[in-house]
Chain A
Amino acid sequence: MDASVGSFYQRMLLANAHVAPYSADVRAHLQAKHTNEAQDFLLHLDADALYDDQDTNRRYVYLNEAKAVWQTDDATISVGNIIGAWGKMDIYSPIDTLNARNLLKDPLANDKLGATALQYRHYLDNGEWEVTVKFLETMQSLPYTASPYYFLDPKVCFGDLESHLVLWRPTLFARYSTTVEMGESSFDHTFILANGFDAIRGVIDGGQNDDFYDLTPLLFYSTKAMYAIAVPLEAWILKSEMALAYSEDSRVSHYGQLALAAEYATQTPWGQSLLYLSEYHRFVRWESTKLSALQLMQFFQNDWVIGVRMGLNDAYNSALMAAIIVDMEGQGSATQLSFNSKLIDSVSYSLRWLHLVPRDATHSTALPASSFDAMVGSFLDAIGAHDSITVGLTYHF
């Protein structure tokens, strides 16, 4: 059994009357595994708790993973709350569609919420195939609008879920991954077919109330075909992911997503490891009259991400990371600088500076006075201006 308890403090550097000047929270994580003697059955528990001192929305205990697993040499059957990692991208993966993101812990991080599912995976010599049935669609919550963790303008409120859909309609996933040797290189391919709830969430206009805009979350069904490839070439890894979705909702157009990435690993003359990363993301909808990328809460419509990770190669695994997301159509951008290390072997710490620039930097929000629906571009255009530092301290048992 492993556990950790940490505390995080986020301080706003940008004065905004609508946003609390700071947020402080306590986070706990517990992981336990039990395997029988024959090692063909195991129980896996991964629990996550958050307690914010002000924001009651940011108080929860989640069983992100709580699953029973039967395994043979060639196959694995899992049932319960499951987390999967199908994508190859580091910043955003269009094919990583099994799990919803945890928007309460840190909306810009990649924390996942477990999917209640039954999964069968069969291993082959050079790959695997898998069938997953997700029984219940995961509902996501957002921080309170005045929280520094709320990434939209505080004048934008989310209402109740707009859905006539039954949350327990199953979503089916079929995946096949294989590695194909070609000369000295090997190509990793992943094919996924999905039918059921789309991983993308939409928002529709819920009307204006005084000075606030109401947005109503929207779920929809789709059938989606996804593909990913990764090719290592000496110190490079070239990656691509793509998705084509056929929407069953008249308000949502059929759409496509494309991600291209290049990763280059090298070292400084002083021995630190460097990983350069570049990702390009494109979202295209078939019918321009239907919900836009912004309304489908897509951070990436035509955006470029550049990042670098420097591993200091010390005993504390210290790492410095910098990344910037640039909106190729609007003027919005997101910049993040972070550092992770340890004070002693059982105590780690993290520092982060986050700087979000909306489409119109002269306003605290990019939203026009008219309506959210009138916006074009990506979700990045809808964010409010944000400038903060976050300090975290975690004790590992």
Chain B
Amino acid sequence: MKKIVFLLLAMTLGLWSMTASELVKKMEKGTTSNNSVEAQLKMLLINSNGDTLERTMQLKTLDKGGESKALIEFLSPADVKGTKLLTYVHADKANEQWLYLPALKRVKRIVGSGQSGSFMGSEFTYEDFGKQGSDVYRYEELLQESTIDGVEYYLATRYPNSSDSAYSKQIIYVDKAQNLVRRVDYYDTKERHLKTATMHDYTSQNGSYRVGRIEMKNLQSGKATHILWLGEQSNAKLTDADFHKRVLER
């Protein structure tokens, strides 16, 4: 009898608790829009002594359902000004990325494990700027729950599908109130805790949430990178033409 009661209780809890699939759908509904965005970003590179270097970038993105395109252009410092990164995120195949190096006037394709390398010396990888959708990761269906500083979170564990990923797994912290990702713990290929990203200053625009600041801390090197969104413009009326490979050389 005790066993039956326990089983019924477990089944009831299972019916009422959220699964990872449901959580991912809610997260994507809250943060994805069929929209184009143009923003200026400031990137702060902070070494283990606290010394800070600043880079500024222009970001353009275009989301179209499961596919998206992004163009990042460096505006400073002078020696990397004009460097551009174009990313195509596909629903049915691997991401495509091209890097334009103005000093050489060459467009260089980034492939495979090149995408797991550091993005311009930061604690972000090219992969971090790629697609973050549900088809890129395999999720553990069972969610954990945790309360940190009075805020309740779902904790979802996800594993990259790509064998070229720099990560063995990621644990994402989603606040229960708004279904927004507030933190991501990244684990390296040896399953050691490598980095933690925290997301701040979300703003709601046209029914979609946009992050205002991401702080990425490398726990192994002590270095950190902060990305701040400055003057973001939603519905920037960007089209596919703004993300054609021609824009790299212009």
A85-B106, A273-B117, A313-B118 known; 12 new pairs, CB 8 Å cut-off, are A71-B250, A128-B246, A232-B111, A234-B111, A235-B112, A237-B109, A266-B112, A311-B117, A315-B121, A316-B121, A346-B78, A348-B79
Q: Report the separation of the CA atoms of residues A266 and B107 in the bound assembly, to the nearest whole angstrom.
A: 19
| B 108-127 binary contact with A (CB < 8 Å = 1; else 0) | 01111110111011100000
Contacts of A235 in B (CB 8 A): 111-114, 164
Q: Is B237 an interface residue (CB 8 A)?
A: no
Q: Is B2 an interface residue (CB 8 A)?
A: no
Q: Report the separation of the CA atoms of residues A110 and B94 in the bound assembly, to the nearest whole angstrom.
A: 33
Q: Is B91 an interface residue (CB 8 A)?
A: no
Contacts of B77 in A (CB 8 A): 345-346, 396
Contacts of A84 in B (CB 8 A): 105
| Complex A-B: 22 CB contacts under 8 Å | A2-B78, A2-B81, A4-B78, A84-B105, A85-B104, A110-B104, A232-B109, A232-B112, A236-B111, A237-B111, A265-B113, A267-B116, A271-B221, A273-B114, A313-B121, A314-B121, A315-B47, A315-B121, A342-B79, A346-B78, A396-B78, A397-B78
Q: Is B96 an interface residue (CB 8 A)?
A: yes
Q: Is A371 an interface residue (CB 8 A)?
A: no
Are A267 and B112 closer than 8 Å at their CB atoms? Answer: no
Q: Is B25 an interface residue (CB 8 A)?
A: no
A residues contacting the other copy or chain, number (CB 8 A) = 40
Q: Is A37 an interface residue (CB 8 A)?
A: no
Q: Is A123 an interface residue (CB 8 A)?
A: yes
Q: How big is chain B's contact interface, by range?
A: 35 or more
| B 68-98 binary contact with A (CB < 8 Å = 1; else 0) | 0000000001111100000000000110100
Q: Is A184 an interface residue (CB 8 A)?
A: yes
- If A267-B113, A346-B78, A396-B78 touch, whether A311 touches B118 (CB-CB below 8 Å) is yes
B238 to chain A, nearest CB (A): 13
Q: Is A83 an interface residue (CB 8 A)?
A: yes
Q: Is A317 an interface residue (CB 8 A)?
A: yes
Interface residues of B in 27-56 (CB under 8 A from A): 45, 47, 53
A83 to chain B, nearest CB (A): 6
Q: Is A160 an interface residue (CB 8 A)?
A: no
B117 to chain A, nearest CB (A): 4
Q: Is B174 an interface residue (CB 8 A)?
A: no
Name B's A-contacting residues (CB within 8 A).
45, 47, 53, 77-81, 93-94, 96, 104-107, 109-114, 116-118, 120-122, 164, 166, 221, 223, 241, 244, 246, 250
Contacts of B223 in A (CB 8 A): 315
Are B118 and A271 closer than 8 Å at their CB atoms? Answer: yes
Interface residues of A in 173-215 (CB under 8 A from B): 184, 186, 188
Of the candidates A3, A123, A273, A396, which one forms a contact with B244 in the assembled complex, judged by CB atoms under 8 Å apart?
A: A123
Q: Report the separation of the CA atoms of residues A3 and B246 in the bound assembly, to the nearest whole angstrom.
A: 26
Find the B residue at minimum CB distance from A69. Answer: B250
Q: Report the separation of the CA atoms of residues A3 and B107 in the bound assembly, to the nearest whole angstrom.
A: 22
Are B250 and A317 closer than 8 Å at their CB atoms? Answer: no
Contacts of A348 in B (CB 8 A): 79
Find the B residue at minimum CB distance from A2. Answer: B78
Q: Report the separation of the CA atoms of residues A233 and B45 in the bound assembly, to the nearest whole angstrom.
A: 32
Contacts of A188 in B (CB 8 A): 109
Contacts of A234 in B (CB 8 A): 111-112, 164
Contacts of B53 in A (CB 8 A): 315, 345
A386 to chain B, nearest CB (A): 25
Among all A-B residue pairs, the 6 with the closest Cβ atoms: A235-B112, A313-B118, A265-B114, A273-B117, A396-B78, A315-B45
| A 340-371 binary contact with B (CB < 8 Å = 1; else 0) | 00100110100000000000000000000000
A92 to chain B, nearest CB (A): 14
Find the B residue at minimum CB distance from A234. Answer: B112
Find the A residue at minimum CB distance from B106. Answer: A85
Are B105 and A265 closer than 8 Å at their CB atoms? Answer: no
B183 to chain A, nearest CB (A): 22
Are A265 and B117 closer than 8 Å at their CB atoms? Answer: yes
B246 to chain A, nearest CB (A): 5
Interface centre among A128, A184, A265, A275 (most CB of B within 10 A): A265
Q: Report the separation of the CA atoms of residues A232 and B94 in the bound assembly, to the nearest whole angstrom.
A: 11
Find the A residue at minimum CB distance from B121. Answer: A315
Of the candidates A73, A184, A313, which one forms a contact with B117 in the assembled complex, judged by CB atoms under 8 Å apart?
A: A313
Of the candidates B104, B112, B241, B244, which one forms a contact with A236 in the assembled complex, judged by CB atoms under 8 Å apart?
A: B112
Find the A residue at minimum CB distance from B83. Answer: A317
